[in-house]
Amino acid sequence: MRLTGVHLLLTYECNFDCDHCFVWGSPQQQGAMDWEQVCEILEQSKRLGGVEWIYFEGGEPFLDHPKLVKAVQRANQMGFRVGIVSNAFWATTVEEAIAQLEPLAGRVEDLSISSDLYHADESSSPETRNAREAAQRLGIPVDFISIERPEAEDPTAVIGQIPAGASGVMHRGRAAAKLTGRIAKTPWDGFTACPFEDLRDPERVHVDPFGNVHICQGISLGNLFRTPLAQICADYIPEQHPIAGPLLEGGPAALTRRFEIPHADSYADACHLCYETRCALRERFPEILTPDQVYGEADSR
């Protein structure tokens, strides 16, 4: 496994608790990296060789702005290309957005802003527009992550009609609990491939505040605070991994069959079946299907 990107989940905490969130981000979520952990992950990423991009995500990484700025500066000094994913809550005015982004100018090559009706009452909120203008003034490349809400209308009328530039919901994490009752379902045995993640030869992983190395949110390859990232990558044999192996063989349907997990007749998408199956397998594979945050078991609401 030769990684070109490592994405740091600086915190599971978020000022929003969006229905579609993979990691159940919310103001009540616990788990944030301290500075020593950030440095350790960056050092391991550098020693691994081949890693070009470091992304800082969450939750919401701007909730600890001083640490984010230090982390970006450190990653930049180490020769990484740097990206950030944020919901732009901090961009209440253009001037405030400039104040937040100015220490990052010249260091961040991709500022990805989540902008859709899950985050605000309009698809392009004032904060989004302020962040865009501030980033453009400072020369920070900015783009947008937009998740369409087909479940808000008659699902039979909007399937296949997601607007250009938007993506559909992947029904894992909170979306599996909150959104799947609103859309049409497909027979479970038709989900014979993972449509979103390259489980055989991934180019990037996410590392959370506990050190878990996620190949997909909630599927851990190991903990880099216990085993070096280089060793985790060297030891990964996709076909032999208890969760990735069946998924590669035949998608979520194969995973469900492999462990004889009771299931419904139909699901919203492949992520929905995979997530529900993984929830049922957590006691069997507690070191792999972790942490509680990603499975909604550490959210105090």
Please report which confidence band the pLDDT of residue 115 belongs to, taking 50, 70 and 90 as the band edges.
confident
- 194 compared with 121, residue with greater pLDDT: 194
**pLDDT, position 216:** 95
Domains of the chain, by residue range, sit at 5-86+148-295
pLDDT tens per residue across span 249-279: 999 999 999 999 999 999 999 999 999 999 9
Cβ-contact 59, 10 below 8 angstroms: yes
Q: What is the pTM of this model?
A: 0.90
Q: 3-state DSSP call for residue 202?
A: coil
Instruction: Judge whether residue 165 has pLDDT over 90.
Output: no
Banded pLDDT at 122 (limits 50, 70, 90) = low
User: How many angstroms separate the Cα of 36 from the Cα of each of 32, 71, 225, 299, 301?
Assistant: 12, 10, 11, 25, 30
pLDDT band, residue 156 (cuts 50/70/90): very low
Which residues neighbour 132 within 8 Å (Cβ) at sequence distance 6 or greater?
Answer: 113, 142
Mean pLDDT, rounded, for 135-163: 62
pLDDT at 160 > cutoff 60: no
pLDDT at residue number 18: 87
Note the residue count of the chain.
301
At 113, the amino acid letter reads I
